Chains A and B, each alone.
Chain A
Amino acid sequence: AQSVTQLGSHVSVSEGALVLLRCNYSSSVPPYLFWYVQYPNQGLQLLLKYTTGATLVKGINGFEAEFKKSETSFHLTKPSAHMSDAAEYFCAVSSSGTYKYIFGTGTRLKVLA
C-alpha cells in the first residue's frame, strides 16, 4: 500500500528565507509524485510533478523538488519565500499508470514579514 508522510504540519519562515517542506513516501512500485498548493477556501493547484526522468523537478512560482529514491523523499524547496507563498501544501503519490492519488496531511506554511 502507498502512503505519504509530511513532516511538520506547520512551518514558519521569514520573508526571503529558504522554504523547505518535507515529504516522504512509501510505494512498492515506481511512484508518480506531486506537490499541490491550496489557498484558503480554494481548490488545489498543481505546483510540480515527478513521473520519470530528471529527478530535479522545477515547478511554478519558483518551487522545485528532488526525487530521491534511496531516501524515499520528495522535498519541496524555494530559495526565497514571499508573503504570497503562505498557504497549505500537499504532497501526493500515485502508482505509475494508475489514477489513485494518496495525499499527505498537508503542511501549512506561514511567511513572516
Chain B
Amino acid sequence: EAEVAQSPRYKITEKSQAVAFWCDPISGHATLYWYRQILGQGPELLVQFQDESVVDDSQLPKDRFSAERLKGVDSTLKIQPAELGDSAMYLCASSLAGYDEQYFGPGTRLTVT
C-alpha cells in the first residue's frame, strides 16, 4: 500500500539552529500539505502545494519558515532559526487533487531546546 514518507521521525535541535524536514507524497498525488500539530491540538495547515506551486501559505510564519517542492514531487520544510515555540509534530499529507481525501505521513516530532 502506498504511503506518505517523512524523515526524520524525530529531531532535537537547539534554538537559533536551522532544521529541515522532508516529505515524499504518494506517487501521482499532485497536492501536498504541511501541517503543524502542537501537543493536545488538532493539525493546522501551514502550506499547500499544487504540483510545484504554492497555493496557500497564509498560516506559514514566513520570517522563519520556508517550503519548497521544486519538481512537484517531494518537498522540504525548513525552519531558520528555530524557536522554543516551534516544538511540535510536523505532518505531511498528500491527495490526488485539492478536494480529495488527504493521506498523512507518520510525522516528524521536533523538540527545540
Contact = CB atoms under 8 A, between A and B. Distances in A.
Interface string A84-113: 000000101010111111011110000000
A44 B107 CA distance: 9
A28 interface: no
Main secondary structure of the interface of A (DSSP, over half): loop
Chain B CB within 10 Å, residue with most, of A90, A97, A103: A103
Given A45-B104, A106-B42, 16 more contacts: A4-B42, A34-B101, A36-B104, A42-B107, A43-B91, A43-B107, A44-B104, A46-B101, A49-B101, A90-B42, A92-B42, A99-B48, A99-B95, A100-B45, A101-B43, A101-B45
A103 B4 contact: no
A100 B31 CA distance: 12
Interface residues of B, number: 27
Contacts of B91: 43-44
Q: Range of interface residues on chain A?
A: 20 to 34
B106 A42 contact: yes
